[in-house]
Structure 1
Amino acid sequence: MLQNIRDNSQGWIAKTIIGVIVVLLALTGFDAIFNSAGNDNSAAEVNGEKISRYDLDQAVNMQRRQLAQQLGGDFDASLLDDKLLRDAALSSLVERTLLLQGAQKNGFDFSSQALDQLILQTPEFQVDGVFNAARFDQVIQQMGYSRLQFRDLLKQEMLIGQLRAGISGTGFVTEQQVDNFARLEMQTRDFSSLIVPADSSAVTPADDEIRKFYDANAERFRSPEQVVLEYVELNKEAFFDQVEVSDEALQELYQKQIANLSEQRRAAHILIEGNDPKAKSTLEDISKRLQAGEDFAALAKEFSQDPGSASEGGDLGFAGRDVYDPAFEEALYALQEGQVSAPVQTEFGWHLIKLLGVQSPEIPSFDSMKPELVRELKAQQVEQRFVEASKQLEDSAFEASDLAQPAQELGLTVQTTPAFPREGGEGIAANRQVIQAAFSDEVLVDGANSSVIELDPNTTVVVRVKQHLEAKALELDQVRDAIVQQLQRSKAAEKARSEGEELLTKLRDGQVVERQWQVVEAATRNQEGVQPAVLQAVFRMPKPAAKDQPTYAGMSLANGDFVLLRLNGVNEPEQALSDAERDNYRRFLASRAGQQDFAAYRQKLQEQAEIERY
């Protein structure tokens, strides 16, 4: 069984690695989730393995950023429940820890060489289709990772992925299950429908009904408590025009940066796994054939045991230093273009290495890099000025009774927000910290300026309440139209349902309803032109006892209409499944069974684990 799981765990890698990298790339600006923080305060303990509060904080940040990315402009930070977010993040960390423990317990591993291949073949780390070490460093540094941290996290993702794919890949179904599922899936149904419309225009609520509804739902008809804020905003970008950099400093930085550009070498190799004499002897035989004039790429395709490069003739693409095993790298950098090394031993086995090409870095001109250099040098001064200005804003806002003094001292403009409730609003009013400050006792009740609030790494604000609008009951005249529409919809839907159920009773009693039925023949489960809710109801209806004995059902629709359904017949598939159809159904059912197996495995890990949350 374990071997089957391992076998099934191999095909998932190419499908998931890009997704893993893309997610990591999207969530820039924070340290590695499982980076060591030197924090002994634990958030939880799983089978003796601790999850630190630092890990939890980073996971919460990740979830918050993921939500912001997924929702885009619709993201409203004020609606996030921090406790729910934290509980969800901790549950995710606990499950991740359990899965890593499960992978290790079951002997899964992901070699350093396999990690190298993933990194080399990831498009986000390539320039013009070729791995670029400088690009790799730039990307992972943007994410807050060192090379070692990134490789550790990537290995963890691969181990969990192996475990998931391995267990899911062992799911299987019988041919009888395939036949039964296909029979139900390919079944069609003949039915007719009759709509009893909910006509809101035919309903005129009486004044006493409107008043009664208003009185019974008074809490629904209140304007929310709102505030109007004044605020001053300090933006880091504004400081860039206030600082200067010297030509000498620019030249010094330019020379430093071009010195970091490194040569790239394109390697190909033939790998024979194992470090025993037999592996070395096999590679020596291949080396003799190369010396006799045989083609390196052809021999790599025939003999190399590196699954990532064998089909490409052993080609590993371009890479700089500190990517390969030290012994491999030393041999590679000793070669001239076109040369093949003697057998080289690494922890992965024995290699023959060929240097396919050398790519010298293109040195950009000073003028082309000058804007970037200017910004980088200015950024160092700007950061210091921004910190100092933020501190000055904090002190001035604390001492002042309004925002006029801080604005004057720092050359800022006092701005005003539209009124917004405790749920938040637009602009800075969408920021959770701003909302909390605005409705805090210190700012709302005492009338004080807030402390400095960081909207993002480049922007801070101080707010104060300009106007407090208490919640109050809305007059009946203000909400009369909304109440009328609500009563019209509900009474029309009630009338349609009553009439529809009366007709349904007649139909089931064998009476004829002389109405215009909409006929649908051989409807499938995803029949176009039929509402999904109607289709679900049709396929739940019992099969008619005979052709002249249809079954009936009825249901209310979301718009208030009532629909009567008459099931005339159930059609079983007549043709046998083709091989392609059977394979598709088998794969689908096996995949579903595998997912259920993995869900059961996760549940078992939870049940058997010793988990303590602090």
Structure 2
Amino acid sequence: MLQTFRDNLKGTMAVFIVGLMIVPFALFGIDSLFLQDTSAGKAAEVNGEAISEMELTRAVRIQKQQLLERFGEQAPADLISDEQLRPPVLTRLMNRELLKQAAEDGGMAISDADINQIIINTPQFQQDGVFNAELYTLLLRNMGYTPASYKKVLVEDLLVNQHASGLNASAFATEGDLKALTAITQQTRSFYYVTLPYETAAQQVTVSDDEISAYYDDHQAQFMRPEQVSVEYIELSLDNLAAQKDVDPEVVKAQYEQEVANFEASIQRHAAHILIESGDGAEAKIATVAERLKAGDDFSAIAKDLSDDIGSSNSGGDVGTTDGSSFPQSFETALAELSVGEVSGPVETDAGTHFIKLLAIEEGQPPTFEEARSGIEEHLARASAESTFVEILDELPDATYNTASLKDAADSLGLEVKTSKLFGRRGGPGLLSNNQVLAEVFSDDVLHEGLASPVIEISDNHVVVVKLKEHHEAEVKPLDEVQDEVKDIVTRDKVAVILNDQANELLAKLNQGSQLEALASDLGLDWQVKADARRNDQNIDRELLAHLFNLPKPQPSDAVNTSLPLQNGDVVVAQLTVVKPGTLPDMDQAQLLALKQRLSQELGGQELATYQKALNESADIEIY
């Protein structure tokens, strides 16, 4: 029925029916009289407008769902906790409220007709391509909305998006902006530098046992072993049970024979058509097609010359295959009556008049036993495992409740008890990284009371029960275990002092007018020079390059001298000598326009952020 309705929903009738569908939306607001008031309990107030706890709770739930969809079971538990999500979500709601208020103050509005049309055209609210009021109401209730409250949120979202988009799109970039940006981003810098190597200085350093002990005693927080646990667990999985099931070959053979007996061959008909759409001149075109077919003209040539279906006319009218449900019923009926190569007379549908040709018939064949065997075996094994899964799942809570060891429970249920290696609160391998499992492992009942967890549902067909095996509190690692690490730290600290002293001595001489090349030669070090380096130069250490591009521009006769310790322990002494502004490369008008548009988008984003900041600073906001 719905398919027929969709097939006939065309032209003037479509407009009429859609118009009728819009009317009930004006009545949906009555639901709010019978459902909970969403304004009860304030989370915050923005310029006198309340953000309710229910709004905040709903927004937190939606944000959590989005994170779970993005990260799946690997989403860190602390990332998706309500406590962690609440502050940023509330800030986003307050920013949204400020933009909405500014839009309303500016006279912006959305008409009811536009809102209703948006709702009707939303795919999630449609069934078989047509808006379904029952589905719409059901989905809203699942999200905690009434039709009235949903329309209110939708209006607000559209206002906020229009306002933000308008601000963003109002930004523009001039050629002067491009030149200014290019002068900075394409800037080049020339400099000399010398590296004071870590390894050379480290050879001069000795570290005593007393120094190691002293550093260890003073910095024990650096050498903590995190809290760790080991658990035993019982895993019940339908997939595992099915994999263990043996299937009788005779049963497999019997099932195959039954399926062959029940097999209904599907017939696929390959069709082509010539379509003449209704309208002025249609009757003359239909007559011409009929005459040319009667005269024996090639069907493909006629389709190319006269068919109004531009999607198939150039391919001889070929519209592909159908199992009897792809085309309107009159089309399918006429096609089913044709022999291969035969052409029908005129066939009427809503699209117009068709001349249909049957190109070929393909009849499906049942699979061979070898082709079907693995699928049948898997199906039978899974069917057998499902009943076993249900039986064990029913017994599992009682078997594991208040048990001293999961082994007895596992033995009684015919399952295996597994024991994990030590792992921390970030999780262990496999299912021990699942957030639900981790929450139970580190719950008071399991971690401190020694109880087995309740049955944890990983999925519909996969559950697990965990029980603590070992628990090691966070503790300081013994000195013997970290001695090499401590020695390396003390060594690096001593080397840093030596290299910094050398760097400061070199800087002092450079500031007095000495040349870096001469100073490097005196120390037996290699010096380097780089002319016209860019910000993205791949041949220069990234730390050094970033540091040099943050320095002020040197005066014509006075270089800028600097030093920088690197992550690898080396220290670099450098002399920045020349800074040249970047210039726009030669571009045609299309390239220049594209660059301006990209810059405009960036400027628009910055202006919107500035506008949002100004709204926040001038707003009266109270958080409860």
TM-score range, shorter chain: 0.5 to 0.7
Asked if structure 2 preserves the Cα contact closer than 8 Å seen for 1:195 and 1:564, the reply is yes
| Root mean square deviation, CA, Å | 6.0
Contact 1:443/1:465 (<8 A) preserved: yes
Distance 1:511 1:205 in 2: 35
Overall identity of the aligned pairs, in % = 24
CA contact (8 A) 2:272 2:318 kept: yes
Note if contact 1:553-1:566 (Cα within 8 Å) is conserved in structure 2: yes
TM-score (norm 1): 0.63
1:225 has 2:234 as partner: no
Which residues of 2 match residues 71-220 of structure 1 at below 5 A?
75=74, 77=76, 80=79, 82-83=81-82, 86-87=85-86, 105=110, 171-198=171-198, 199-220=201-222
Cα distance change on mapping 1:433 and 1:487 into 2, 3 Å: same
Check if 1:555 corresponds to 2:557.
Answer: no
Call closer, same or farther: CA 1:402–1:587 in 2, change over 3 Å: same
The one-character-per-residue Cα deviations of 1:583-607 (angstroms, maximum 9, x if unpaired) are 4532431332354467678889999
1:538 aligns with 2:548: yes
The reply on whether 1:483 has 2:486 as its aligned counterpart is: yes
- Per the TM alignment, residue 415 of structure 1 is displaced from its structure 2 partner at its CA by 1.9
Q: Aligned with 1:434: secondary structure? A: helix
Q: 1:67 to 1:504 in 2, by over 3 A?
A: farther
Q: Retained in 2: the 8 A contact 1:40–1:52?
A: no
CA contact (8 A) 2:268 2:361 kept: yes
The reply on whether 1:464 has 2:467 as its aligned counterpart is: yes
d(CA) in 1 for partners of 2:617, 2:579 = 44
Indicate if the aligned counterparts of 2:193 and 2:527 stay in contact, CA closer than 8 A. yes
Partners of 1:192 and 1:520 within 8 A in 2: yes
Report the equivalent of 1:67.
71
Corresponding residue number in structure 2 for 1:430: 433
For residues 472 and 397 of structure 1, the distance between their equivalents in structure 2, rounded to whole angstroms, comes to 32
The equivalent of 2:405 in structure 1 is 402
- Name the CA shift for 1:79/1:190 in 2 (closer, same or farther; >3 Å): same
Q: Tell me, what secondary structure is at the counterpart of 1:202?
A: coil
Counterparts in 2 of 1:583-598, with a 5 A limit?
Answer: 583-596=593-606
| Alignment-derived partner of residue 529 in structure 2 | 519
CA distance in 2, matches of 1:572, 1:344: 67
1 CA distance for matches of 2:321 and 2:167? 35
Mark the structure with the bigger radius of gyration.
2
Deviations 1:508-547 (A, max 9, x none): 332334114211112122112112332223233333322x
- Measured in 2, the distance between the counterparts of 1:252 and 1:104 equals 65
Paired residues, number: 512
Name structure 2 gaps, 5 residues minimum: 1-33, 44-49, 129-138, 144-153, 290-300, 336-342, 521-525
Distance 2:325 2:99 in 1: 26
2:513 corresponds, among 510, 513, 527, to: 510
State the 1:451 CA deviation: 1.9
Q: 1:334 to 1:172 in 2, by over 3 A?
A: farther
SS in 2 for 1:421: coil
Q: Would you say the 8 A contact 1:191–1:566 is kept in 2?
A: yes
Q: 1:452: Cα distance to partner?
A: 1.8
Residue 56 of structure 1 contacts residue 93 of structure 1 at CA under 8 Å; is this kept in 2?
no
Compared CA separation, residues 518 and 381, structure 1 to 2 (3 A): same
Give the CA deviation at 1:333.
5.5
Mean CA deviation greater in 487-496 or 81-90: 81-90
Question: C-alpha displacement at 1:559, in angstroms?
Answer: 2.0
Whether contact under 8 Å (1:267, 1:316) holds in the other structure is yes
Indicate the residue corresponding to 1:564 in structure 2. 573
Kept after mapping to 2: 8 A contact 1:250/1:374 = no
Deviations 1:161-206 (A, max 9, x none): x979898666531121122223333332222222223343433233
- Contact 1:263/1:361 (8 A) holds in 2: yes
CA distance in 2, matches of 1:52, 1:360: 60
Contact residue 63 and residue 89 of structure 1 kept, 8 A: no
Q: Contact 1:268 / 1:316 at 8 angstroms: preserved in 2?
A: no
Tell whether the 8 Å contact from 1:407 to 1:414 is kept in structure 2 after alignment. yes
2:587 is aligned, of 572, 578, 591, to: 578
Deviation at 1:456, TM superposition (A): 3.9
Contact 1:555 1:564 in 2 (8 A): yes
One-letter amino acid matched to 1:221: F
Q: Residues 255-294 of structure 1 correspond to what in structure 2 (within 5 A)?
A: 284=280
Residue type at the aligned position of 2:535? R
Taking a change above 3 Å as real, the CA distance of residues 83 and 374 of structure 1, as seen in their structure-2 partners, is: same
Task: State how 1:233-272 maps to structure 2 within 5 Å.
Answer: 233-240=235-242, 241=245
Contact 1:265 1:318 in 2 (8 A): yes
